[in-house]
Structure 1
Amino acid sequence: MFKKNDVIPSEKIDTFVGKNSSFEGVLQAEGTIRIDGAFKGDLQIKGNVIIGEEGKIVGNIDAHNIILAGSVEGNITASHQLKINTTGKLYGDIQVSSFVVEEKAIFEGTCKMKDSPVQDKNIISIKNNKTAKA
């Protein structure tokens, strides 16, 4: 399901909400978490979040990296990268440093890129005063 070039390293999963489980509330964690069940509330994760194909979240997510293969109804803030896989569905606004959307994924919302390397105040216009000769 996840390819070698995915941003989440192959590390242990510290917190897991299984396929037949549901959780409601605020979850704060430092490691990697994986959601394959239902979650209602906010995720405040200092590590990475993986939402499996059957994972469903209603609430906001704040994490380092996020891979979305399930569905999220809520806003996402990723300090590094958000990747929406082919089966992923996101209904909400995002604020990320890097954003990857695979073909057939669904994203309905607005996107704000953080730490953009080009700021409007630094953009200059260069004009070419030469004319072409026939």
Structure 2
Amino acid sequence: MARDEINAFLGAGTNYHGKLHFQGAVRIDGNFQGEVVSEGTLVVGQEASVDGQVKVGQLVLSGKLKGEVEARNKVVLHKTADLQGNIRTPVLVVEEGAVLQGELAMGNMDAASSAKPQQDAE
């Protein structure tokens, strides 16, 4: 299976509450409330609404997201994106028109976690 191939899809009109763990890529076009955890890619469609905690490898947002976001690789906010919450990621791509209300922390997340043990060893 290709790395970016969508292997799960929550379509428009669906409502989901709970925890979502996945590999690969998942696209949400409905309403999701809860926690998303993955090393893969979460795609949030233009009509989608996500409320909760998102910890993924990559987030591609075109719809609404309210909550905390931690993306190990990258966050992409398309022009229709509306994100209310804090983002922690090494790379942020924002198209003109996207809305971001919250705090942003950027930097190499792998370097931050691996640098600390090296300092303790000295």
TM-score by length of 2: 0.84
Q: Distance in 2 between matches of 1:115 and 1:53?
A: 29
Structure 1: runs of 5 or more not aligned? 1-8, 120-134
Q: Distance in 1 between matches of 2:54 and 2:99?
A: 17
**Alpha carbons 2:4, 2:24 under 8 Å: kept:** no
Counterpart residue number, 2:36: 43
Counterpart residue number, 1:30: 23
Q: Distance in 1 between matches of 2:47 and 2:3?
A: 21
Over the aligned positions, Cα root-mean-square deviation in angstroms equals 1.7
- How far off is 1:11 after superposition? 3.4
1:39-69 per-position Cα deviation (integer Å, ceiling 9, x unaligned): 0001001200100001100001111111100
Counterpart residue number, 2:115: none
- Answering whether residue 88 of structure 2 is matched by residue 95 of structure 1, we say yes
- Answering whether residue 87 of structure 2 is matched by residue 109 of structure 1, we say no
Aligned residues: 109
Counterpart residue number, 1:122: none
- How far off is 1:10 after superposition? 7.7
Q: Which of the two has greater helix per residue?
A: 2
Q: Distance in 2 between matches of 1:26 and 1:10?
A: 22
Structure 2: runs of 5 or more not aligned? 113-122
- Answering whether residue 67 of structure 2 is matched by residue 77 of structure 1, we say no
Counterpart residue number, 1:20: 13
Q: Distance in 2 between matches of 1:10 and 1:32?
A: 7
Q: Which of the two has greater strand per residue?
A: 2
Counterpart residue number, 1:54: 47
